[in-house]
Structure 1
């Protein structure tokens, strides 16, 4: 074959096949980790691997270099966190489980997040009748969880469901669903340990902060209010790190929806950080949840809510949205009511979104959140 025809054939093949991207998916009640693959041209989503894990993980997160995966241990009698090493998205090796220490022994681990700066500490929280604690874990030279280096307390009525670090890892923010509180802790750059800075109540009684996201410029904090079914924008004081409520909120369900029939879930920034995604879940499996996107100004503030549209299911206890790390166009959405992963794409005019790929993973416990490996 002539050289130019070879090049043409290769070019066509690349256009047809597109780029392949892998995601790892956790579960609420089955001891599995799934690796799935998305083709961004063919718009297909396929199962690559079902990894047998030591425990179910209702939340998973990647290390800064994607060589490690950390998860909550939903199968333990006491809060614990699991560490895996990754050769790639399908080369998963269990390394260790760390029990959370302190007086939160009757709660279940619910959330875990990893620092992106040295010493790369990992932070976890439980949720339940004794969910007032947080824990800080160190990692070894390979990134494997090493030991619990700090236990700290929120308050006796707390149940922190989500956390987020700012981009330089100097502050960590905790969304306290049970105590309707937003917490700020400073982070020690040498040890990773945290120090209490402030706690502020939600905008109204029953607002119930659930998950948070920090814009990388560090000026704005976005908070999903599970009980109020709204997204709140906070301004962060650049000297103290303390957020303050701007009296700016956006509904995450339509105006004609009954708020008590929904519970809002997740918020996450897009690849370019020019968009923000958020979701709500329906409390009944006979109804759908909703997905929203927002446009952001260059300083990180919200300029507009682009849409609120129904998801394809209630979402169950998930409807967790995870934007891709290679394009603003794609986000992954998980469901636990029937168990599936979907890829959604932002419309060309930014005023809508739609499902372009769907994969059922109905094993009785899937699906919790997903992370993009590539």
Structure 2
């Protein structure tokens, strides 16, 4: 059960009194840069403190389980590949290596990467575009640096997986196949990290187009962004097989009075306490705004209600990616690529709204993709 309004207000007061400084790392779609931002949760300020030139733009970045390594897609490479950095701090980012996906996906671009939170800490990556019918499992060395592609596994010829998520104990990996309108389930080998096919199910309707997914920590529910339908769908996970089932629970991520084809929904992520779920949609035209929404969750992870649906300040471009903070339910980072900025949104004390409290512009022509909270 989510906290009461009084409890949330108390937590907000404590946070305001005991302010702290936090860092985020941000990737890009078209410029070979990584940016580091610093957020003061008391003064509500956001500053650019790091600007690193890299050898690849990363359309998606992910931290290792211990935050000692950063993994990214090599989005500007001619063929799909993944990059690995060692983190001494949020601004001490050292390039290590680039690992090519290989296999039968040579003409597409790497689009997504995620890292296991349990040993052997394998990293999983997928391409998108032409010939994107496979994914890769990449091993890491004793320091967490990307090592070798240990498995190229198959989706299907029409696939284009845009997002993946693992359950908390890393026994299953779920893939959102945007191009083939399919949701995939693979089991994970606990010794090697390699995957075994379990199931694939079509999206709820033709053109639903699953894009990104998140799994509740209790493992009973999977949340799926339906990019084409502009909805958030809740799936129930079978606790024996790991297979998710759609039970006709959806929530719109755009207002009822707009044309759905003018929008494409993007991202879903759990809050710090797992009491809330955040989701976003983007506008296909820069003349319109996207939307950000939050949902209250019960103790088992089922969605209780949609709390609000607020317009974002821009279309979001190809981003409007949401990253809840790793220290509080109050704050979430939102990225934009139509102009190039990162915003911090704060949940209202009644959890019935949210608003922008800090922002940094990064207008370099390629920023901003997704953000990760280093601290």
Verify same fold: TM over 0.5: yes
Deviation at 1:15, TM superposition (A): 7.0
1:285 equivalent to 2:289? Answer: no
Q: State the match for 2:95 in structure 1.
A: 94
Q: State the match for 1:197 in structure 2.
A: 198
Provide the C-alpha distance between the structure 2 equivalents of 1:303 and 1:275, rounded to a whole number of angstroms.
10
Offset from partner CA, 1:185-233 (integer Å, 9 cap, x none): 0000000000000000000000000000000100000000000000000
The TM-score normalised by the length of structure 2 is: 0.95
Q: State the match for 1:301 in structure 2.
A: 302
SS at the partner of 2:57?
coil
Provide the C-alpha distance between the structure 1 equivalents of 2:201 and 2:17, rounded to a whole number of angstroms.
52
Provide the C-alpha distance between the structure 1 equivalents of 2:303 and 2:120, rounded to a whole number of angstroms.
32
5 Å-filtered alignment, 1:140-179, equals: 140-179=141-180
5 Å-filtered alignment, 1:321-336, equals: 321-336=322-337
1:341 equivalent to 2:342? Answer: yes
SS at the partner of 1:260?
helix
5 Å-filtered alignment, 1:305-324, equals: 305-324=306-325
Provide the C-alpha distance between the structure 2 equivalents of 1:101 and 1:170, rounded to a whole number of angstroms.
25
The TM-score normalised by the length of structure 1 is: 0.96
How many residues are matched?
Answer: 361
RMSD after superposition: 1.0
Offset from partner CA, 1:212-258 (integer Å, 9 cap, x none): 00001000000000000000000000000000001000000001010
CA contact (8 A) 1:17 1:39 kept: no
Select the structure of larger CA radius of gyration: 1
Offset from partner CA, 1:238-283 (integer Å, 9 cap, x none): 0000000010000000010100000000000000000000000000
Provide the C-alpha distance between the structure 2 equivalents of 1:299 and 1:92, rounded to a whole number of angstroms.
38
Q: State the match for 1:227 in structure 2.
A: 228
1:262 equivalent to 2:276? Answer: no
5 Å-filtered alignment, 1:243-258, equals: 243-258=244-259
Structure 2: state its 5+ residue gaps: 1-14
Deviation at 1:18, TM superposition (A): 2.6
Q: State the match for 1:36 in structure 2.
A: 37
SS at the partner of 1:354?
strand
Deviation at 1:351, TM superposition (A): 0.5
Q: 1:354 to 1:148 in 2, by over 3 A?
A: same
Provide the C-alpha distance between the structure 2 equivalents of 1:52 and 1:95, rounded to a whole number of angstroms.
14
